[in-house]
Structure 1
Amino acid sequence: MGEKLSTHWTRQGPGPIATKGYRSWVEEQIEEARARGDFDNLPGKGQPLDLSRDPFAERDWLVHHVLRNARVLPEWIELDREIREGIRWLKAHPGHPERAARVRELNRRIDRFNLLVPSVSLQKPRLPEGF
């Protein structure tokens, strides 16, 4: 019953994270561990990382594994490539009679891309009609 709490729980004043900031404190901890040699004898040291598994797709791992081995890209990545190629074509052919139709088709691809892309920050704006 007479045990004392560690100074971690009874510290007076702000702790190291409050005074240094979280990122600085973490970097300091990593540097101290490196200086002590904590990272020197880790298993796999000097070997390439195995990045074949997607930790965010655990449920669909087999599907992703097969598609990756077949060199199949997700649809949104293919659409991104097609959109960029289409915009390059439009810039290279300013007076072409197919421009309006190609802009409409690119906007359909952009709409599909925006539905599939995994992050809102990656979405693309539609092209204006007179692009």
Structure 2
Amino acid sequence: MTERKPPGVDFETFVDRQIREAAARGDFEGLPGYGKPLASLDAPYDELWWVKGKLHREGFAVLPPALALRKEAEDALVKALAARSERQVRAILTEVNEKIRAALRRPPPGPPLNLTEFDVEAVLRTWRERGDRAAGRAGTGAGPA
């Protein structure tokens, strides 16, 4: 691509020739996505497509801090109820409660937080009840007749 377009040659012809020669040399075969359809071909045009792609690849959250904490609290509750031990439940809830406590002391920018700390003992009661029901279901029909 370092050569210049010769005078009198149509620009489109010049570019097409360079692409054809590069394809013949195999310059395009090692590229990521070679032979695969374009992922965003049917999507509507978005001027910030590259910014959103970069944020997604880098793992940045696009939610305001208050909404991100709400989502994290929801995920923590689900994770706590699916935990295998009481120690894990307490660890998960303690970690998210510290973040909630900090956000309540100094509210983050954005929409209202609308969160309170989790009652660890109440969640543990729910966790134990779910465990008892699961053990009861596993115990029914299992074992010698």
Query: TM-score, normalization: structure 2?
Result: 0.35
Compare relative contact order (CA 8 Å, sep 6+) and give the higher one, 1 or 2.
2
